[in-house]
Amino acid sequence: MRAGTVIMGALTLLLASTAHADDGYRLWLRAPASATAATATATAPAPASATVSLLGGSATLRLAADELARALPAGVAVTVATGADPSLAALRLPFARLGDEGYLVRRVTLHGQPTLLVAGNTDRGALYGAFALLRHLATGGTAADASLVSAPKVKLRVLNHWDNLDGTVERGYAGTSLWDWWSLPDLKDPRYVDYARANASIGINGTVLNNVNAKADSLTPRYIEKAAALADVFRPWGIKVYLSARFSAPIELGGLKTADPRDPAVAAWWKAKADEIYRAIPDFGGFLVKANSEGQPGPRDYGASHADGANMLAAAVRPHGGIVMWRAFVYADTDPEDRAKQAYTEFKPLDGTFADNVLVQVKNGAIDFQPREPFHPLFGAMPKTPLVMEFQVTKEYLGFATHLAYLGPLFEETLAARTGRGRETVASVVDGSSEGHRLTGMAGVANIGRDRDWSGSTFNQANWYVFGRMAWDPTLAAQPIAREWAQQTFGTDRRVVDTAVAMMMGSREAVVDYTGAFGLAHLMATGHHYGPGPWVDDLKRPEWNPVYYHKADRDGIGFDRTRTGSNAVAQYAPPVARRFADPRTTPERDLLWFHHVGWDRRMASGRTLWEDLVAHYDRGVAYVGDMRRQWDGVRAAVDAERWEKTATDLAVQEREARWWRDASLAYWMSVNGRALPAGAAAPEHDLAWYKAQHFAYVPGHHD
């Protein structure tokens, strides 16, 4: 018989009762319900310890055991193990189903003693199991009914930090970068551990440290050492470090005359660079690349293809087991073609030409993280290439950190979309099940910064959370995830949880409504993207101007992407293309994305398009008012600090939702010459006033 280590866990967590202030730092990782309840009254006895046994001794297993020891209710006996442990062999547990990272939690008898077994084939699996058990307990489950088994459907579950080396964060609304590049590698801020722990708790297993608009400096020895220090902190939590690579680095750092991927000297430079990185970070994940997009260098500068570029980098990391995530977010300076078509046009012909350690990373929609976009036509169109789904967790176009917009429904809507190829969904493309790809990925542009609450607001934490959960399983639904997040974040008071979930579930649709419904997109102000700017028409590239996207005139509005227009619909598989080609079969929510239609078009509501558009603006604003009232109703049941901050944000959101509505309507009326439908409130100011609003020092935007 093998003796396991036994940890007696003291409940050392600070168990704040709801009445106390709470700065949100702990995210969703709070004490489980039973433990909180035990200490909620001042007279409760000091909590006794759970008993946690450990079979195996890796740092990761110990972390799993610590999590359980800290948070489990008294009297529970738990064993943390990897499936390789011989004492488990006789139990005939379904380890074969778990893969590298899956877990199981089962009541078993070990060495004659009943115990709750938390195990995976690997220590990472066991760590995920520990967090799953804590989630189970915090969401109403008990140790007695814990029987869990799960394996991730997606292999690379990666945050993309658009963090710059000077500490700013592109499109970051939660303070400066978490990474203190200057003081690294010496100083290892304890927040790095807390960051890794939070990610591990939702299954995120990779992080790209630096902005895709990359500086070559990230690849210098000095910065490699800094990245290595972070990798050391993250490793026990199962998280690998990746770097965004600047394609022209061989010129900037290596003194070469070219970065042409077909030049052997260039390939040799990258190979040596990869070797150097792997000496410092043996489990380095690989590179993320934004090439030939928005001014970034790339293989097209030399007449080489994206595949040439990606494969050259892939060869450099291949001997070390690394991968390359190559972004498909491209649109050319000179191409007069509909911007929505360009990524497909460029990448589709390359299907089958990428090395097998390359993944192509595709944004959820064909333009750019708008409040609503139809799924990107590349999903389903490159069967031979693993496609990483890229979502934007930071809400560049959905109200920054201030607006409450739960992104679960946006993610779910995209992942559940049918591609038109048999029963295939976007999720089945992303998780590889459609084509049998084993290398699969999902990326989220992080909303994390140095703000005390990490994400700039309590409810934004839910977007980080739901990204991790859906990356683990892209078939999960948004609503139950909202609920489990709220239970872990606010405690088990049913009224608070119900209220939070109710607010969250319609919140993204409200943003769609008050910024422009029915498939309108890209209507925001220039550069910083804060607030409305549908009138903007003077930027040097046509596709930078909102007027390019809405094409509103006296008679109608919308972008004709059918055969009479750009024919972008033809990029979808035939059944989907047919549906989108006809305004009568296009879902109304996407109508103006695909069609230019008359203002008097009769909508499903019975109203005209113009009337309905106005109604949606009003509905969006009203939803925010409702959220404020709902939040007021739970004031006494939520800690003062988080309640207050959220209430303030909601007040700002209501003001800004009105601004969006009024500015947009003032503009549309100037174009279509129509009056508002009876009963609709006139915009507060005239159009000139809205156009005259200018903002400097907007977060996330650095000229």
Q: What phi and psi values does residue 431 have, to the nearest 5 degrees?
A: -85, 5
Answer for which of 28, 103, 162, 247 binds ligand GCW (CB under 6 A) is 162
Least gap, CB of 543 to ligand GCW (angstroms): 12
Answer for which of 124, 155, 171, 240 binds ligand GCW (CB under 6 A) is 171
Nearest to ligand GCW of 529, 685 (CB atom): 529
608 binds ligand GCW (CB under 6 A): no
Q: With CB under 6 A, what is the number of residues at the site for ligand GCW?
A: 11
Give the residue among 617, 606, 599 at the shortest CA–CA distance from 680. 617
Least gap, CB of 290 to ligand GCW (angstroms): 5
Helix axes 190-201, 458-472, angle to 10 degrees: 50
The active-site residue, picked from 166, 294, 582, 600, is 294
DSSP labels, 137-169 = HHTT--STT--EEE--S-SEEEEE--B-TTS-B
Tokens of 121: 């084939």
Least gap, CB of 288 to ligand GCW (angstroms): 11
Least gap, CB of 174 to ligand GCW (angstroms): 16
Nearest to ligand GCW of 386, 700 (CB atom): 700
Least gap, CB of 211 to ligand GCW (angstroms): 6
CB-CB contact of 284 with 278 (8 Å) = yes
Least gap, CB of 35 to ligand GCW (angstroms): 42
CB-CB contact of 5 with 69 (8 Å) = no
Tokens of 645: 């901050």
Nearest to ligand GCW of 333, 684 (CB atom): 333
Tokens of 283: 């489990």
170 binds ligand GCW (CB under 6 A): yes
The active-site residue, picked from 338, 396, 413, 654, is 396
Answer for which of 368, 451, 509, 639 binds ligand GCW (CB under 6 A) is 368
CB atoms within 10 A of CB 671: 17
400 binds ligand GCW (CB under 6 A): no
Within residues 348-367, the interface with ligand GCW by CB under 6 A covers: none
Say whether 654 is catalytic. no
Nearest to ligand GCW of 373, 662 (CB atom): 373
Least gap, CB of 537 to ligand GCW (angstroms): 19
**SS3 for 197-234, per residue?**
HHHHHCCCCEEECCCCCCCHHHHCHHHHHHHHHHHHHH
- Give 351's DSSP letter: T
Answer for which of 65, 151, 212, 314 binds ligand GCW (CB under 6 A) is 212
Query: What end-to-end distance do the CA atoms of the chain give, in Å?
Result: 65
Least gap, CB of 227 to ligand GCW (angstroms): 19
Q: Which helix (H) or strand (E) holds 9?
A: strand 5-9
Query: Residue 32: which residues within 8 A CB-CB, separation 6 or more?
Result: 71, 72, 73, 134, 137, 138
Residue with the CB atom nearest ligand GCW in the bound state? 368
Nearest-angstrom CA–CA distance, 600 and 170: 41
Least gap, CB of 329 to ligand GCW (angstroms): 5
Nearest to ligand GCW of 162, 344 (CB atom): 162
E strand intervals along 35-102: 50-55, 77-82
Least gap, CB of 701 to ligand GCW (angstroms): 8
Least gap, CB of 164 to ligand GCW (angstroms): 10
Nearest to ligand GCW of 197, 290 (CB atom): 290
Answer for which of 192, 237, 287, 369 binds ligand GCW (CB under 6 A) is 369
Q: Which helix (H) or strand (E) holds 647?
A: helix 640-672
Nearest to ligand GCW of 367, 591 (CB atom): 367
Least gap, CB of 234 to ligand GCW (angstroms): 23
**SS3 for 525-583, per residue?**
CCCCCCCECCCCCCCCCHHHCHHHHHCCCCCEECCCCCCCCCCHHHHCCHHHHHHHHCC
Each residue 83-122 as x (binds ligand GCW by CB under 6 A) or -, in order, gives ----------------------------------------
Helix axes 458-472, 408-416, angle to 10 degrees: 20
Q: Which helix (H) or strand (E) holds 643?
A: helix 640-672
346 binds ligand GCW (CB under 6 A): no
Nearest to ligand GCW of 292, 385 (CB atom): 292
Within residues 305-334, the interface with ligand GCW by CB under 6 A covers: 329
Nearest to ligand GCW of 53, 177 (CB atom): 177
Give the residue among 521, 497, 512 at the shortest CA–CA distance from 624. 512
- Region of residue 611 (left: phi > 0; alpha: psi -120 to 50; beta: else): alpha
Say whether 396 is catalytic. yes
Nearest to ligand GCW of 296, 507 (CB atom): 296
Say whether 473 is catalytic. no
Chain centroid to CA 244? 17
Each residue 613-652 as x (binds ligand GCW by CB under 6 A) or -, in order, gives ----------------------------------------
The active-site residue, picked from 163, 346, 368, 484, is 368
Nearest to ligand GCW of 163, 453 (CB atom): 163
Nearest to ligand GCW of 162, 247 (CB atom): 162
Tokens of 49: 């310890």
DSSP β-ladder status, 113-120 and 240-244? unpaired
Query: Residue 255: which residues within 8 A CB-CB, separation 6 or more?
Result: none
213 binds ligand GCW (CB under 6 A): yes
Within residues 250-309, the interface with ligand GCW by CB under 6 A covers: 290, 294
Burial class from Cβ neighbours inside 10 Å (0-12, 13-18, 19+) for residue 554 reads exposed
Residue 166, amino acid: D
CA dihedral 156, 159, 160, 161 (to 10 degrees): -150
Provide the annotated active-site residues.
294, 368, 396
Instruction: Please report, as ranges, the residues that interact with ligand GCW according to CB under 6 A.
Output: 162, 170-171, 212-213, 290, 294, 329, 368-369, 396
